[in-house]
Amino acid sequence: HQTIYLKDYTPPSFEVLSIDLSIQVFDDHTLVHSKLVMQRLTSGDLILCGRDLELLNISLNGNALTPQDYEIDPEQLIIKNAPDQAEFAISVKIHPESNTQLEGLYQAGNLFVTQNEPEGFRKITFFPDRPDILTVFTTRIEADKKYPTLLANGNLVEKGELSDNRHFAVWHDPTKKPSYLFAAVIGDLAVLKDSFTTMEGRHVSLEIYALAQDLPKCHVAMQALKDSMKWDEDVYGRPYDLDNYMIVAVSQFNMGAMENKGLNIFNTVCVLADPEVTTDPAMFYVKSTIAHEYFHNWTGNRITCRDWFQLCLKEGFTVFRDQSFSTTLQSPAVQRIDDVSSLKSVQFAEDAGPLSHPPRPDHFVEINNFYTATVYDKGAEIARMMANLLGPEKFRQGTDEYFRRHDGQAVTVEDLVDSLSDGSGVDLRNFLPWYSQPGTPCVKGRGSYDADAKTYTLTLSQSTAKRHNYPEPQPLPIPVGVALFDKETGEQLTLNSTVLKQSEVAENNIKDGIFVLDQAEQTVVFEQVNAEPVVSLLRNFSAPVLLDFDYSDEDLAFLLEHETNGFNQWQAAQMLLERVLLQDHNPAVYLNAIAKALPQVAKDDALLATRLLDIPSENYLASRIDQEYDPAVVHQKRDAVLNALADRLKDYWADAYQSLPIVEFKDNSVEMGKRAYRNMVLGFAIRAGVEGALDWASEQYDNAVCMTERLGALRHLVWNKANNAQDKLDDFYKRFKHEDLALDQWFAVQAGNPQGSVQVARELMEHPEFDWGTPNRIRSVTGNFSGNPVLVWTTEGMQFYTEIAKRLDQQNPVLGSRILQFLSRWYTLKEPLRSEAKNILQGLKGEVNSTSVCETLNNVLKA
Ligand code: DPP
Ligand code: ZN
């Protein structure tokens, strides 16, 4: 397998002026005919990518080509000395009916759909399948009338009947787009329709296609779509540009969703929502994914990536945009907590292991392996840091400039940063190294108060571990949110009244409480500080870094109590808990602080209260342990903290639970907060041994009016081995047997059970409803099982994952590679587990062939 390097990028030698595509679907094959009009740009060979295609015929400028006229290998067709104007007619045969990889055109049940990002289009026909080739697509789709739905991007220009009970539709997309944004759908779907009028007065028809029985579950997505369209107009001044916007729901899909121009294709889990079968967090995820894909229309589609190394250009920026949109749906503090919590548990962990890579990688074997938390979530943090430094007005000037300069182009990360800099008048180019340097920087610091001089001196330094194959890490610009609080009164001090003395710190380096640490070490002196302060750092998680400050536990408890927003309170609680769990600090300070803060927070904002009760996950804790990791010890420590917390507030849980009766379902953040809090409180009540708490769970299960309540109760019953746990599981199964997404939850609850076992997980995969063709179902077992490292890091657990990776290696390598990533931190284990892990992983070598799985396995073994 070949490594591809960013430095080797060369512009294409031909452009494609237009493509006419004809897709004829038959039961046992599909024919694809294309007419490509190409025009030379520079010297060089004409290269058409193609994989798994049966070439039927090819002609160039009207002359049939014979095998002597071109070179062909399993990946491409090359024509040397092609004329400057080259018009190709190409016919190929493909097999969507047996395509299990879910890339290109594939059949999923009664539906044919495409997934072309990043390199699926080459599995549909020969084409220069690279994102910097944009062209105009006209698509004719033909199929049996048992498939009444025939969709492609753009506008429907013609449809009609054919002989043999067949019919066709022709679609024309006026916008130039790269091939990865091409989409087609053939099937029998119902449609929910609505409309939106843009700020420019364009009337847009909105259509969500799904199986008829799922149509009632599409209203939440439709509303989210309209809200997103409005939000992008209000916040970024970006209206939609076509006359229709279609979304299609498919149950067999590798990704969450795909932003194909005007024709999004969505995993059902990201579009269907109904309180009876969908939990609140899952419903929230639907809304934010709808927003994410919609926002791609400007950041991704109209301005796309020059090459796949630039993936974070569209993904990082778009995640930042969907996160910003989501703060309109719930409290900004909770939104930030959830984003940071996922960043720390997934991205920090990734960056701490052998799969660490920069947000813009400089080499890869298989680009499918780079749809990662680093590209998406760290990419979003970089966009956020720049946006925060500029403030809303200047950031808007910057993004306006980006859209003005690059609409219709395929560009790079540098183009974005240049536009933001030039548009705002603030040079942000010093942020570029964030895109190319891997690893999580660690900010260390200490502070001291001089009572006589009334100064507070803050010294911060940064360091990043060097990574194999990358240059010595350089200091990055790290915006550090700073506030000082009076230790006596708890009041926040005004930083404006303080003066910066240190000459090496440019005066504009501290603005609105943000200090940009851009050297290896810097010192700031705050003056006129009349009493000893407590400093709060990295407020709102102003940069994606680890913080190691010489706080006392009492300082952190103080911040948990006095910080002015929920995110910063949460952050203080997390820091305190990490000390308890990783450094064996006494939990008393944490317990006192949380016991004091919780009841009030719960009254004001129940959702925030659930987050304050977060205990860092075992996987996150493991990511902070680089050697001699003993999963059982981490589990026991975490369990002990949970038990202590449960005991400490035993009476409170009982009261709190009873004061939160089940009420009619409402989809708003206040009610969502109450439901989440009720589930959490119930869990602590059970853990504390509150009398009757398990009965409350049974009653909640029986009386639930929505899935959040029912599933929450079921989880407690199953995970606590309640006597009736199996009855309730059986009941759940009967109720939701025909609801795939609810059934996924039935698998998930059992696979994620901390009291479970590899055997349980294996049995779930033998269940008649388990389906190797549906990634959601596979993930419901593999993903949830991975939440229990004590079970994963056993001989059987590791073999479980390597066997699945091996099975998926051919069938669905993208997914197989993901599953192998669960084992990436094997080398941190204490012996003898470490050696055993190594043996098991090495045993997989030679057993797998796909580029995706092989690249991941090789990298994992390099650790
Ligand atoms: N569909 C994936 C996403 O939107 C890849 N573009 O993130
Ligand atoms: Zn995306």
Are β-strands 521-526 and 510-511 bridged in parallel, bridged antiparallel, or unpaired? Answer: unpaired
Question: What is the distance between the alpha carbons of residues 649 and 693, in angstroms, rounded to a whole number?
Answer: 14
**Which tens digit of pLDDT belongs to each residue from 630-645?**
999 999 999 999 999 9
**Which tens digit of pLDDT belongs to each residue from 561-582?**
999 999 999 999 999 999 999 9
Q: Is the ipTM of this complex over 0.90?
A: yes
Given ligand 1 and candidates 267, 315, 377, which is best to mutate, with the most ligand atoms within 8 Å of its CB?
Answer: 315
- Bridge partners of 288? none
Question: What is the distance between the alpha carbons of residues 61 and 85, in angstroms, rounded to a whole number?
Answer: 8
Which residue's CA is the closest to the ligand 1 atom numbered 1?
258
- Tell me which ligand sits closest to the C-alpha of residue 255: 1
Ramachandran region, residue 549 (left: φ > 0; alpha: ψ -120 to 50; beta: rest): beta
Question: What is the distance between the alpha carbons of residues 641 and 588, in angstroms, rounded to a whole number?
Answer: 10
- Tell me which ligand sits closest to the C-alpha of residue 315: 2
Report, in angstroms and rounded to the nearest whole number, the Rg of the chain calculated over CA atoms: 28
pLDDT at 508 over 80: no
- Tell me which ligand sits closest to the C-alpha of residue 259: 1
**Which tens digit of pLDDT belongs to each residue from 372-430?**
999 999 999 999 999 999 999 999 999 999 999 999 999 999 999 999 999 999 999 99
pLDDT at 502 over 90: no
Q: Please state the rounded mean pLDDT for residues 68-86.
A: 97
* Cβ pair 31, 91 in contact under 8 A: yes
At residue 1, the pLDDT reads 87
Tokens of 11: 């512009």
Tell me which residue of 290, 268, 274, 284 sits closest to 217, measured CA to CA: 274
* Cβ pair 494, 500 in contact under 8 A: no
Ligand 1 pocket check for 55: Cβ under 6 Å: no
Tell me which residue of 677, 670, 673, 678 sits closest to 703, measured CA to CA: 678
Tell me which residue of 371, 326, 442 sits closest to 821, measured CA to CA: 371
Dihedral, 349, 351, 352, 355 alpha carbons, nearest 10: 100
Ligand 1 pocket check for 259: Cβ under 6 Å: yes
DSSP state of 497: G
Tokens of 361: 């990688």
Question: What is the distance between the alpha carbons of residues 621 and 615, in angstroms, rounded to a whole number?
Answer: 10
Ligand 1 pocket check for 255: Cβ under 6 Å: yes
Single-letter amino acid code for the residue at 849: N
Dihedral, 513, 516, 522, 527 alpha carbons, nearest 10: -20
* Cβ pair 829, 793 in contact under 8 A: yes
Q: Please state the rounded mean pLDDT for residues 843-862.
A: 97
Tell me which residue of 454, 430, 415, 326 sits closest to 382, measured CA to CA: 430
Q: Please state the rounded mean pLDDT for residues 668-694.
A: 98
Token pair 């009261």 in the structure block, residue: 655
User: Which 3 state secondary structure label does DSSP give 657?
Assistant: helix
Q: Any idea which residues carry the catalytic annotation?
A: 293
pLDDT at 155 over 90: yes
- Bridge partners of 257? 266
Which residues fall within 8 angstroms of residue 169, CB to CB, at 6 or more apart? 140, 141, 150, 151, 152, 156, 158, 159
Tokens of 745: 């939850």
Domains parsed from the chain with CATH numbers:
1-188 (2.60.40.1730), 304-436 (1.10.390.10), 456-464+474-604 (2.60.40.1840), 611-861 (1.25.50.10)
Which residue's CA is the closest to the ligand 1 atom numbered 5?
258
Distance of CA 632 to the CA centre of its chain: 29
CA distances from 777 to 391, 464, 707, 774, 781 (A): 43, 38, 18, 6, 7
Question: What is the distance between the alpha carbons of residues 52 and 511, in angstroms, rounded to a whole number?
Answer: 56
Question: What is the distance between the alpha carbons of residues 776 and 740, in angstroms, rounded to a whole number?
Answer: 9
At residue 497, the pLDDT reads 47
Q: How far is the CA of 257 from the centre of ligand 1 (A)?
A: 6
Q: How far is the CA of 259 from the centre of ligand 1 (A)?
A: 6
Tell me which residue of 316, 328, 309, 275 sits closest to 292, measured CA to CA: 316
Tell me which residue of 35, 39, 34, 12 sits closest to 23, measured CA to CA: 34
Are β-strands 76-79 and 71-72 bridged in parallel, bridged antiparallel, or unpaired? Answer: antiparallel
At residue 494, the pLDDT reads 83
If one counts every other C-beta atom within 10 angstroms of the C-beta of residue 507, the result is 9
- Percent of the chain with pLDDT strictly greater than 70: 98
Total residue length of the chain: 863
Are β-strands 244-250 and 263-267 bridged in parallel, bridged antiparallel, or unpaired? Answer: parallel
Phi/psi for 479 (5° steps) reads -70, 120
**Which tens digit of pLDDT belongs to each residue from 2-60?**
999 999 999 999 999 999 999 999 999 999 999 999 999 999 999 999 999 999 999 99
Ligand 1 pocket check for 293: Cβ under 6 Å: yes
pLDDT at 501 over 60: no
Q: How far is the CA of 266 from the centre of ligand 2 (A)?
A: 12
Which residues fall within 8 angstroms of residue 679, CB to CB, at 6 or more apart? 708, 709, 712, 713, 716
Which residue's CA is the closest to the ligand 1 atom numbered 7?
315
**Which tens digit of pLDDT belongs to each residue from 261-316?**
999 999 999 999 999 999 999 999 999 999 999 999 999 999 999 999 999 999 99
pLDDT at 506 over 80: no
- Percent of the chain with pLDDT strictly greater than 90: 96
* Cβ pair 362, 299 in contact under 8 A: no
Can you tell me which atom of ligand 1 is nearest the CA of 289? 4
Categorize the per-residue pLDDT at 500 as very low, low, confident or very high, splitting at 50, 70 and 90. Answer: low
Categorize the per-residue pLDDT at 359 as very low, low, confident or very high, splitting at 50, 70 and 90. Answer: very high
Can you tell me which atom of ligand 1 is nearest the CA of 257? 1
pLDDT, the chain, mean:
96
Question: What is the distance between the alpha carbons of residues 19 and 182, in angstroms, rounded to a whole number?
Answer: 11
Single-letter amino acid code for the residue at 647: D
Categorize the per-residue pLDDT at 670 as very low, low, confident or very high, splitting at 50, 70 and 90. Answer: very high
At residue 302, the pLDDT reads 98
Residue-wise DSSP of 824-858 = TTGGGBPTTHHHHHHHHHHHHTTT---HHHHHHHH
Token pair 């204490």 in the structure block, residue: 830
Ligand 1 pocket check for 377: Cβ under 6 Å: no
Question: What is the distance between the alpha carbons of residues 638 and 618, in angstroms, rounded to a whole number?
Answer: 8
pLDDT at 231 over 80: yes
Tokens of 564: 């002015």
- Bridge partners of 60? 63, 88
- Tell me which ligand sits closest to the C-alpha of residue 260: 1
**Which tens digit of pLDDT belongs to each residue from 822-846?**
999 999 999 999 999 999 999 999 9
If one counts every other C-beta atom within 10 angstroms of the C-beta of residue 342, the result is 12
Q: How far is the CA of 440 from the centre of ligand 2 (A)?
A: 23
pLDDT at 851 over 80: yes
pLDDT at 509 over 60: no
At residue 736, the pLDDT reads 98
pLDDT at 499 over 70: no
Question: What is the distance between the alpha carbons of residues 726 and 780, in angstroms, rounded to a whole number?
Answer: 19
At residue 498, the pLDDT reads 55
**Which tens digit of pLDDT belongs to each residue from 694-725?**
999 999 999 999 999 999 999 999 999 999 99
Ramachandran region, residue 183 (left: φ > 0; alpha: ψ -120 to 50; beta: rest): beta
pLDDT at 507 over 60: no
Ligand 1 pocket check for 207: Cβ under 6 Å: no
* Cβ pair 308, 118 in contact under 8 A: yes
**Which tens digit of pLDDT belongs to each residue from 309-325?**
999 999 999 999 999 99
DSSP state of 344: I
pLDDT at 467 over 60: yes
Categorize the per-residue pLDDT at 512 as very low, low, confident or very high, splitting at 50, 70 and 90. Answer: confident
Question: What is the distance between the alpha carbons of residues 857 and 439, in angstroms, rounded to a whole number?
Answer: 20
**Which tens digit of pLDDT belongs to each residue from 749-772?**
999 999 999 999 999 999 999 999
Question: What is the distance between the alpha carbons of residues 299 and 625, in angstroms, rounded to a whole number?
Answer: 37
Ligand 1 pocket check for 339: Cβ under 6 Å: no
**Which tens digit of pLDDT belongs to each residue from 513-539?**
888 999 999 988 888 899 999 999 999
Tokens of 831: 């012996």
